[in-house]
Structure 1
């Protein structure tokens, strides 16, 4: 192997071990009760809940269902989201912390109940969040107490056999892990035969609130009483979600080990975090190791990030081989709680589910239950804590200012310090940004010596994109939009491609 190459297949395990989908695109105008934009765990969970409630639904997916963020998760179905409950209680009070806990515990049971009829490799296992520093031991004790106070199955442990470096951990019993693609493909098959149509290759270009709402696509218009935007980042942003969330990118390697696979799910809080869980492929166990999170477009060489995750895997396990590697991007709200509910007070009948912060396997399911109940008019007992209209706690004011200042500084720095004109030839496998007649141009020459030239100006809010050397993408360091080397949008908030130059 070339010393610059990374080990393992550059693909998600979940995508490689399931068939592709072939739902047809929208072919004509359509009228339904609810239009759901996005075919990941949130969108399909919402569709399932709505069809169970007797609603007619259209799921509109720009690419292929269950192929975006959901296909790149480590797929932990757990209410344990790091050391969060002490913080949630402090920020929001015990009642809202309890709502968050109850909602996520309920999501585990919803998935487990559906797994009785959908084969998705679901296993009930304990989850651990651990620390390596003796100085953090009291943080773990406080977390255990806070979690117990809101009814969670938490216990304090001082030793984890699979993680010898751990000095303390909070353990949650009866959590779960599964194969997310198998689960969602089963869900899609069920809802597509029960009052719901799933449309792939159908990009939504606009949403007009009203009675009914109009959902515009290049293939026709869908009229719906209600619309749910479950597109990772909302495709329309009337309430400034770009300023209330920030993107983080992280990395996963799936490895074969010589020692027994760990029994449980493991997470080390902090930056960078560490995550591990096992999964069985054709009777053989692999361990999924994740970490190296950073703000999108600001992490330096992504190739080096993969290498760092591989080193972590080898530090914890007797690794025989790296089988797969992939990266993922998540949006986290400034207060750490997802936004699930009406997208804005002045946009009636339009709802949003976003900001899952890396824990979408439960909070995406929570979104399905909350929004189905909100649309039905009954209201949800969990809605308050996830309300998109909430004001961030004062304790998060600093985080809000820091994240938006970071984006502003990135914008100014990019435009005042780079790029520069150059006539130097660009070697194959390399990328750069140059200035040409006052325009910023992103150039990439692939291994076949073909030069790809696109505008370097993100079509969201005009920050300059940066090269991602491992994925060969252009990533926006301000708000996380990602583009293929040919300029096509891979991830929002941008909805328009980078123009070719």
Structure 2
């Protein structure tokens, strides 16, 4: 089984576009060709705006193409947390925003005839542990305060016993890439432009706002939307200290018995997520996700896939057909950052920090950003504004995040190398210390050895080898690099330094 083989991307025809080859102008530039960028572009182009989308890779190549694609307002146990950390109005506004996202998908699929396998499902949060029952009961009380329709149950339709479940009715699941292809068609019909394989380096601020690509090409515009997952441009927002990145895993397997329906997530550790998809090739498949951990930390990644495969077998499935992983970004207070990139800067907007609920939150982001650009008015009472700061829990979260980064920085610099280079098999990598420097040594599938400096080019932490996905991952801020050092995911912009000498000298 090949890791990081996503069903969505494997079985969807993804449109190709040319890369940007000349300087140009556009009223609005959106950096990022995932669901946030496409939804935002659709909303703005429909209102007659001149919009250009710049994507560093192919469309949907980021988290959008590696999701479980639940369209729901039930994001684990969050509403009591939001009431306690913010207030009742913020929690209710977030719920209403998520329901707006569901309504948006229903309305646009109907209006444009988009077939994206949109199906209504009940959403369940369940626990198998007695000590967690009170968490579900407290969350149910939050539902009642906010007017959310939900109910507690002692059973769920899945083939195992639980202690308690909290059900949210009338939620949805869909095929995200089919949906986005439909929106993209409308976007292009309304004059929108898309350039892929066009990585952006920075934004130049001044009388005019200019987006500068890594090839030095410039797009002059009035507004920029940073929808690049981790913001590639900080804009004095200090996002490197206010965000961290988290990896989780998915296996897709055929159930041996009929699936009873529903979308599920547990309230226990380790995390488990379950939903179904209907496919032409295999019939019903179950998407089983979980095993979340901070990027660059934790156990060897194969262990996480094994745990999910074992859980799939426990549910009564055949051997998984697909396996993939995703990287999610988490904010200090678990509420997304959507709005102006920093206080007083209304020419650059950002959307990030969806935790593990990007299929809903990214649509919320598109609706919110379109409203801010069109009218200057927040659709959702500014609850997502990135410049917000709350003493509880933000101050403690900043300190914890900074301490985690400091720990990884120190541990990385003092770590011992893994093993001796001649033991490497093709597709494997290791670290060795040579003349006091930690080298990353990778043997590609052709047997060629590549050497890189394992110092992350973002803020100088030490990257670790991710054996499941053949990447160097940074535990400090979540940057990821190929075995040969090229950037896969930011915030790093530059590749790892390649070493021509080192062990070969």
Give the TM-score taking structure 1 as reference length.
Answer: 0.95
The DSSP-based 3-state class of the residue aligned with 2:83 is helix
| Separation in structure 2 between the aligned mates of residue 463 and residue 380 of structure 1, nearest angstrom | 37
Among 329, 332, 338, the residue aligned to 1:331: 329
Among 424, 427, 432, the residue aligned to 2:424: 427
Deviations 1:70-94 (A, max 9, x none): 0000000001000100110111100
> Does the 8 A contact of 2:73 with 2:360 survive in 1?
yes
Question: Residue in 2 aligned with 1:299?
Answer: 298
The DSSP-based 3-state class of the residue aligned with 2:319 is strand
> Does the 8 A contact of 1:278 with 1:288 survive in 2?
yes
Question: Residue in 1 aligned with 2:395?
Answer: 397
Deviations 1:236-276 (A, max 9, x none): 12211111111110110000111112401000124321000
| Separation in structure 1 between the aligned mates of residue 420 and residue 71 of structure 2, nearest angstrom | 52
The DSSP-based 3-state class of the residue aligned with 1:243 is helix
Q: Which moved more, 1:215-224 or 1:199-208?
A: 215-224
Question: Residue in 2 aligned with 1:225?
Answer: 222
Among 98, 117, 120, the residue aligned to 2:92: 98
> Does the 8 A contact of 1:69 with 1:330 survive in 2?
yes
| Separation in structure 2 between the aligned mates of residue 131 and residue 423 of structure 1, nearest angstrom | 45
- The 5 A counterparts of 1:366-405 are 366-405=364-403
Question: Residue in 1 aligned with 2:173?
Answer: 177
| Separation in structure 2 between the aligned mates of residue 435 and residue 398 of structure 1, nearest angstrom | 36
> Does the 8 A contact of 2:45 with 2:187 survive in 1?
yes
Question: Residue in 2 aligned with 1:21?
Answer: 15
- The 5 A counterparts of 1:102-501 are 102-116=96-110, 117-217=113-213, 218=215, 220-237=217-234, 238-282=236-280, 284-315=283-314, 317-419=315-417, 425-429=422-426, 430-501=428-499
RMSD of Structure 2 on Structure 1 (CA) = 1.7
- The 5 A counterparts of 1:31-42 are 31-42=25-36
C-alpha displacement of 1:190? 1.6
The DSSP-based 3-state class of the residue aligned with 1:279 is strand
Q: Which moved more, 1:231-240 or 1:214-223?
A: 214-223
Q: Which runs of 5+ in 2 are unaligned?
A: 500-505
C-alpha displacement of 1:18? 0.6
C-alpha displacement of 1:484? 0.8
Deviations 1:7-29 (A, max 9, x none): 46640000011113211111222
- The 5 A counterparts of 1:2-17 are 7=1, 10-17=4-11
Question: Residue in 2 aligned with 1:82?
Answer: 76
Q: Which moved more, 1:387-396 or 1:67-76?
A: 387-396
The DSSP-based 3-state class of the residue aligned with 1:399 is helix
C-alpha displacement of 1:54? 1.8
Give the TM-score taking structure 2 as reference length.
Answer: 0.94
- Count of residues in Structure 1 that have an aligned counterpart in Structure 2: 493
C-alpha displacement of 1:321? 2.4
Q: Which moved more, 1:430-439 or 1:212-221?
A: 430-439
> Does the 8 A contact of 2:223 with 2:347 survive in 1?
yes
Q: Which runs of 5+ in 1 are unaligned?
A: 1-6
| Separation in structure 2 between the aligned mates of residue 70 and residue 40 of structure 1, nearest angstrom | 6
Deviations 1:335-361 (A, max 9, x none): 100100111125441010000001011
C-alpha displacement of 1:149? 2.2
> Does the 8 A contact of 2:3 with 2:468 survive in 1?
no
Distance change >3 Å, CA 105–CA 74, structure 1 → 2: same
Distance change >3 Å, CA 428–CA 108, structure 1 → 2: same
| Separation in structure 2 between the aligned mates of residue 123 and residue 74 of structure 1, nearest angstrom | 14
The DSSP-based 3-state class of the residue aligned with 2:121 is strand
> Does the 8 A contact of 1:8 with 1:322 survive in 2?
no
Question: Residue in 1 aligned with 2:502?
Answer: none
